[in-house]
Amino acid sequence: MTPSKGSYLTASSAIHAMKRDVILDGHFEHGEPDQMVFLILSWSMYRLEASMRMDTNRKRSTARYICAILDPSYEGTTVEAQASTHGDGLSIAFNDVRYPYLALGSRNIDTGNLDFNMIRTWLSRCDSNHKLPCARITSDELKAICLIDVHQRKIVGYSNKSKEYLALSYVWGNVEQYVPGAGKADSDTILGNLPQIVEDALLVTNQLGKKYLWVDSICIDQTDKVQKAHQIAIMSQIYQGAYATIIAFSTTSANDRLPRVSSANTSWRQMSCTIDGIKILGFGPTLSHLVWHMRWGRRAWTYQEALLSPRCIYISKFQVYFECNAVTCCESVNESYSHIHQESSDGNYLPLTNTGVLRNPFTNVITEPGTALSLYSISATLFSRRTLTKQSDALNAFDGILQILQRKAYGGGFYWALPCAHLNWALTWRAHDARDQEIGLRSEFPTWS
């Protein structure tokens, strides 16, 4: 193959060497043909390798890929620096692959428009294949919540469990969130101008064929302390009961737009080049990389919002990511013929679920004390690395996780967020922020906590 220049990537300077048909996973059985994974990787192949080795009765085949060794440094930047903004891999465009047994190929990202058909396909596939791990959990407590009717632009009550609604997870920023009529169901008030991010979320909800949207600043009366406290107390049920959660991944305030929903995205272009007439496209940054670098991923409140949702739609300035309790998808990867993505209802696959970037680890029955303690410790540690505007909100922002843990493992409850069953151990735990510095005493917390 002879590299040629392309937009955003000078192939001749970036590609150091190439190898064809490298075996990614040597195991092969059932006499089935290989599935081909055409990739050009820079500095991390293990992420893909792990996903391709998921073991099912339906498929455990040899996966091969075309490997290109990228020059450690080109155009004055390191490969790792490139990965932080462009991603750690490229692939032959799905439509240019000339092999019959394709597992994954790259997909061109339209920077002008969001591909709602693709998102609807992800959701429909999840509905069909992942009934057990990805089912929304409804409860009687949801009767107390309000929803936005996106067609009438009115606030309505949650009258029955058949109402499927989307939820919105976003960073408020320093934006006034008061909306007349907020948290008051079945009034005749038509919602006027809303924060831009909410307006865009209404459009997304409608495009995905849903009628209702839950947004904390609109569906909770922020001036009513009693209602606000009650809604916070059932936050886990709200997000677990949502059909899916829209995550405003790249925004920093309620006045920001969701990329490609009401305006085109001009801040990022997909890497691409052409080699022997075949188009090569970049995957873009991975979800696991972005979640710790976006402001949304550094906010404490958003941690439980994603973790407890059965499905998450991450809308970023790079691309759209989808994660449920069974699979992860992204806009830059065409998984149309991937056995793992298409047939993950296989019984042997389900125990491997909940291992995504921000997936609910509490769906299985927790019987071992050590498992419960480990889940609590991991959750508390990840939460403590996120930031709060008001330190006094720490308990409320973590309460949804505690509610799940109490139902699953800690029937004796918690005291100041510490598990009563493991109080001796919990008293020795120390919280550290993202810089590994110990967090001081939060306001309103007891001195011994």
d(C-alpha 106, C-alpha 258), whole Å: 23
In the prediction, which pLDDT does 96 show? 66
- Show the tokens assigned to 392: 């006094």
**Count of CB atoms situated within 10 Å of the CB of 21:** 11
* 364: Cβ contacts below 8 Å, ≥ 6 apart: 354
**Residue found by looking up tokens 């696959």 in the block:** 349
How many Cα atoms sit within 13 Å of 295 on the Cβ side? 14
**Residue 86: which of 218, 283, 242 has the closest Cα?**
283
Q: Do the beta carbons of residue 106 and residue 334 sit within 8 Å?
A: yes
d(C-alpha 22, C-alpha 69), whole Å: 12
* 352: Cβ contacts below 8 Å, ≥ 6 apart: 54, 55
Degrees to nearest 5, angle at CA 302 with 389 and 150: 110
β-pair type (89-92, 278-282): antiparallel
Q: Do the beta carbons of residue 148 and residue 155 sit within 8 Å?
A: yes
Q: What is the pLDDT along the chain (449 residues), one digit of tens a residue?
A: 333 333 333 333 344 444 444 444 433 333 444 444 555 544 333 343 334 333 333 333 444 444 444 444 444 444 445 555 555 567 777 776 655 556 677 888 998 899 999 999 999 999 988 887 788 988 888 988 999 999 999 999 987 777 899 999 999 888 777 777 777 887 778 888 899 999 999 999 999 999 999 999 999 888 888 888 888 888 889 999 999 999 999 999 999 999 999 888 777 888 777 777 778 788 888 887 788 788 998 888 888 898 889 999 999 999 999 998 888 888 988 887 776 677 655 444 444 444 555 665 555 555 566 777 877 887 888 888 788 877 777 888 888 888 888 887 788 888 888 888 888 887 877 666 555 555 665 666 666 65
In the prediction, which pLDDT does 73 show? 45
d(C-alpha 240, C-alpha 161), whole Å: 13
In the prediction, which pLDDT does 121 show? 94
CA 108 to chain centre: 21
In the prediction, which pLDDT does 294 show? 87
d(C-alpha 279, C-alpha 91), whole Å: 8
In the prediction, which pLDDT does 351 show? 44
In the prediction, which pLDDT does 271 show? 79
In the prediction, which pLDDT does 345 show? 53
Residue type, 102: L
In the prediction, which pLDDT does 418 show? 85
| pTM of the entire predicted model | 0.79
**Residue 85: which of 290, 264, 251, 247 has the closest Cα?**
290
* 228: Cβ contacts below 8 Å, ≥ 6 apart: 220, 221, 222
**Residue 295: which of 310, 316, 312 has the closest Cα?**
316
| Sign of the dihedral defined by the CA atoms of residues 50, 53, 55, 56, in that order | positive
